[in-house]
Structure 1
Amino acid sequence: MENKAYKLNIQLSDGKIIEFMPEMVHSDLSALTNNQEIIQRTERLILVQLSSYTIIKLRELQMIIYKTLNQLRYHQIASKYYDTELS
């Protein structure tokens, strides 16, 4: 994915702030499926949604990933993500 001009930070549950890297989303999605088309479609939609943020809580980011997978009708992958990241 291309680098964005904006900077996004993630606030972890302990309050620590880390810089968001698009590779984080790619890595999470790659752990769920080997299908590059699914990864790229989901990644693009997530990054568009994140473009309005300057800081996001980790849990909110995880919910965006989960909801995006469901929105794209990748329900099994969404369930797998939920089980590994949100439950």
Structure 2
Amino acid sequence: MQKETHKLNVQLNDGQIIEFMPEMVHSDLSALTSNQEIIHRTERLILVQLSSYTIIKLHELQMIIYKTLNQLRYHQIASQYYNAELS
């Protein structure tokens, strides 16, 4: 029997709500680095943090991604992400 997956929705800036897909985080990180270890470590930590949410605002999700990159000491990638998504 397959375990039911946790459903997470993302509220966009215009108020529209979309279903969160982990591929969103993966593609954002892949745009910043080709290092699969960095992508994998960061994704895992982000997904663990998101497990307590049922809905999250896009800006809050972006801040979690940014803070996670910094927490893992990927400061240059965090800075690139900030400039691309948050500035």
Report the TM-score, using the length of structure 1 for normalisation. 0.95
Give the secondary-structure state (helix, strand or coil) at the position aligned to 1:56: strand
Asked which structure has the greater CA Rg, the reply is: 2
Q: Deviations over 1:1-45 (max 9, x none)?
A: xx9711000000100000000000000000000000000000000
CA distance in 2: counterparts of 1:63 and 1:83, whole angstroms: 12
Give the secondary-structure state (helix, strand or coil) at the position aligned to 2:56: strand
**Equivalence for 2:49:** 49
**Equivalence for 2:19:** 19
Structure 2, unaligned stretches of length 5 or more? none
Aligned length: 85
Give the percent of matched residue pairs that are identical in Structure 1 and Structure 2: 85
Give the secondary-structure state (helix, strand or coil) at the position aligned to 2:38: helix
**Equivalence for 2:72:** 72
CA distance in 2: counterparts of 1:86 and 1:55, whole angstroms: 20
**CA RMSD, Structure 1 to Structure 2 (Å):** 1.2
CA distance in 1: counterparts of 2:49 and 2:85, whole angstroms: 19
Q: Which runs of 4+ in 1 moved over 2 A?
A: none
Give the secondary-structure state (helix, strand or coil) at the position aligned to 1:7: coil
1:40 aligns with 2:40: yes
Structure 1, unaligned stretches of length 5 or more? none
Give 1:62 deviation, angstroms.
0.0
CA distance in 2: counterparts of 1:18 and 1:50, whole angstroms: 15
Report the TM-score, using the length of structure 2 for normalisation. 0.95
